[in-house]
Amino acid sequence: MSTNGLHVQPLSGAIGAEISGVDLGAAGHNTIAEIRKIWLDHGVIFFRDQELPPAKFLAVAKQFGEVVEYPFVKGIEGFPEIIPVVKLEHEKKNFGGIWHTDTAYLDKPPMATMLVARETPPFGGDTLFANMYLAYETLSDGLKRMLDGLIAINKSAKADVTKTREDRVKDSGKTEAKKEYVSEHPVVRTHPETGRKALYVNVGHTAHFKDMTEEESAPLLNYLFQHQTRPEFTCRFSWKPGSVAFWDNRCVLHNPVNDYHGHRRVMHRVTLAGDKPR
């Protein structure tokens, strides 16, 4: 599919599209507006062979929203808003290596994330994405009615996700970062731009339902965690240096696959400010 000179190739039937025919670093306002429409339609979009050194990468991200800093890890030198997403040859855990939406434990989680590949392993290191509109829409009417009134408690200190950031906190952690962030968000949120409802829980951050214990919440949450990453809701992206992914944290989960032990993977990430989920 072509639109205004951009070629759009969907990655799956559920989510994701690769856009070609554009140099992001030179894109004008009209092109950026068209890219945003495609992004809202597909949840996550991808680009190849982009020459985006840090200053230009940051400038591109700022055309889509306000860039905000990550609370736990320092940015790269000279660019505090750009954090390194790195797995080194000797490391076994990968940063964020679990299904999640970025920093759902904040009162105002980011609207979006943009990631550019700097160094990629000779094999592996793909990222999976899942469509939370479909995760909600395919639930039964009875379960939808139950979930529509529930509030989720999200925590930054859930054990599994904490382990995935240990290496980076160890070598580049922020000394002023809180030890734990906790937020309350609706289990089902309404996207402020599309008006569609999306399931807004994730195994990386959601600890329990408000006014319920973790033990009471676990059966339903575990069902939702399994349901929301069904293969038919997902796409998979393989990285090369210069590849860019841009995803909507309000309706998309992601999971970097940790299948390249012994090899280096270096990415740069920025996040864009969002609003309080409703």
DSSP assignment of 125-194: --EEEEEHHHHHHTS-HHHHHHHHT-EEEEETT-HHHHHHTHHHHHHHB-TT--S--EEEEESEEE-TTT
234-251 pLDDT, tens digit per residue, is 999 999 999 999 999 999
Instruction: Judge whether 46 and 244 are in contact, CB under 8 Å.
Output: yes
Who wins on pLDDT, 162 or 128?
128
The CATH homologous superfamily to which domain 2-272 belongs is Clavaminate synthase-like (3.60.130.10)
Is-catalytic flag, 269?
yes
DSSP string, 113-137: EEEEEEE--SS---EEEEEHHHHHH
176 pLDDT above the threshold of 60: no
3-state secondary structure of 206: strand
Q: Which pLDDT value is given to residue 4? A: 66
Question: Which one is catalytic: 42, 102, 167, 205?
Answer: 102
Instruction: Judge whether 126 and 240 are in contact, CB under 8 Å.
Output: no
Tell me the pLDDT of the chain averaged across its residues: 93
Q: Which pLDDT value is given to residue 96? A: 84
Instruction: Judge whether 131 and 10 are in contact, CB under 8 Å.
Output: no
Q: How far apart are CA 55 and CA 26, in angstroms?
A: 13
267: left (phi over 0), alpha (psi -120 to 50) or beta: beta
22-46 pLDDT, tens digit per residue, is 999 999 999 999 999 999 999 999 9
Instruction: Judge whether 268 and 82 are in contact, CB under 8 Å.
Output: yes
Q: Which pLDDT value is given to residue 168? A: 47
5 pLDDT above the threshold of 90: no
Q: Which of 112-121, 122-131, 169-178 has the lowest mean pLDDT?
A: 169-178
Question: Which one is catalytic: 118, 191, 250, 254?
Answer: 254
Q: Which of 3-7, 140-144, 186-190 has the lowest mean pLDDT?
A: 3-7
Among 141, 265, 168, 158, which Cα is nearest to 201's?
158
Q: Which pLDDT value is given to residue 170? A: 56
Question: Which one is catalytic: 100, 168, 208, 265?
Answer: 100
211 pLDDT above the threshold of 60: yes
167 pLDDT above the threshold of 50: no
151-155 β-sheet, strand order: 182-186, 151-155, 206-209
Among 140, 114, 272, 103, which Cα is nearest to 193's?
272
83-125 pLDDT, tens digit per residue, is 999 999 999 999 889 999 999 999 999 999 999 999 999 999 9
Q: Which pLDDT value is given to residue 179? A: 72
In degrees, rounded to 5, the angle at the alpha carbon of residue 200 between the alpha carbons of residues 109 and 197 is 110
Instruction: Judge whether 216 and 210 are in contact, CB under 8 Å.
Output: no
Instruction: Judge whether 99 and 227 are in contact, CB under 8 Å.
Output: no
The pLDDT-based confidence of 191 (bands split at 50, 70, 90) is very high
138-153 pLDDT, tens digit per residue, is 999 999 999 999 999 9
